[in-house]
Structure 1
Amino acid sequence: MSSVDHAGKRVQIGNNRGRVNGWTSHARVFGICVAVDGVTRSGAADKARATG
């Protein structure tokens, strides 16, 4: 996910080569990568919903 539009309830999706693939609704997001091999992804916490 490249960007979040809270007002429009949508997210911008992209691929692993840095290209943007378009926009989709919050309802179609099933997960967000927050870490790779134990290394936290920059900005991921701001895009993920709090758990608990």
Structure 2
Amino acid sequence: MIGIAVSLGGLGLAAFLWALKSGQFEDLDGAAHRALFDDDAAAPTSKSTPERQ
């Protein structure tokens, strides 16, 4: 049982270190902001479409 616990802990540590090296934690706020704002609202409008009055 102790061997299994140590191996699972080592596996978790290895996964965490891999995530650090691959840049998974570099942009912590980006995903939160992308979830809140709609992509269509940020897209520029085309000037060739006539405006409705």
State whether TM-score is above 0.5.
no
Q: What is the TM-score normalised by the length of structure 1?
A: 0.19
Q: Which structure has the bigger radius of gyration?
A: 2
Report which of the two has the higher share of helix: 2
Q: What is the TM-score normalised by the length of structure 2?
A: 0.19
